[in-house]
Amino acid sequence: MTDSSAHADGALRLDGDHERIAAYYRDWAADYDHDVMSEGYVSPMIVAGLAALAVPAETGLDALDAGCGTGLVGRMLGQRRPEVRLHGVDLSPEMAERAEETGAYASVAGGVDLLDYAAAEDSPHFPLVLCSGTLTLGHIGIEGLDALLDLTEPEGHLAVSVRRTHSLEDGYPARVAQLAEQGLVEIVSELINAPYLENGGADYWLLRRL
């Protein structure tokens, strides 16, 4: 096993423990981009592409990159929709610092727990929310999907990836279908078991909150 694959696999065994997650990404931040790209990580490109479907060209709006990491999604979205004002939040201050250095974000905040951020009485709402790589094994459970939708304005869009093994274990496809049946979201686009990393796929959705 290479160092890059060892890092990627190790991130799946953090059991949702915030302190362990923050410490793991603190130590990984410097090598993260190299490692995940070496493992064929395409989620940022796909999530940014889905988000671009929801934003007409030359449209300026505020968007949230939830779990922005080192800013891979921001860089990808900036190539497609440079007028979007992207705001990033991440649990790891060190990862968030890397994202800020890309210049792709209007603002970046580290030390942000996604579930607490969404549940706060004064939490912001965005017409576009992106989330790549955060809903995965060892990080956040299916409650993360509801949190992301809470951060999405009515008639706004959520572009999200969920690692396939996590998606199956926690029942994401059924939850998305349930939300659609209840009239809470419209499924604009759905990619099931699409490319993610060399060692596994992911499910992707572009949802419009109703």
Q: What is the CATH number of the domain that holds 194?
A: 3.40.50.150
Total domains in the chain come to 1
Q: What is the pTM of this model?
A: 0.91
Tally: H helices and E strands in the chain: 10, 7
Residue 31 is predicted with a pLDDT of 80
Give 135's strand partners: 162
- What digits encode the pLDDT tens for the residues 111-127? 999 999 999 999 999 99
Per-residue pLDDT band for 136 (boundaries 50, 70, 90) equals: confident
Q: What pLDDT band is residue 7 in, cutting at 50, 70 and 90?
A: very low
Output phi, psi for 48, to 5 deg: -65, -40
Which pLDDT does position 29 carry in this prediction?
A: 65
Give the residue numbers spanning the domain of 191: 3-209
pLDDT digits (tens, 9 = 90+) for 39-90: 899 999 999 999 999 999 889 999 999 999 999 999 999 999 999 999 999 9
Measured CA distances, 140 to 3, 13, 43, 144 (Å): 24, 12, 17, 6
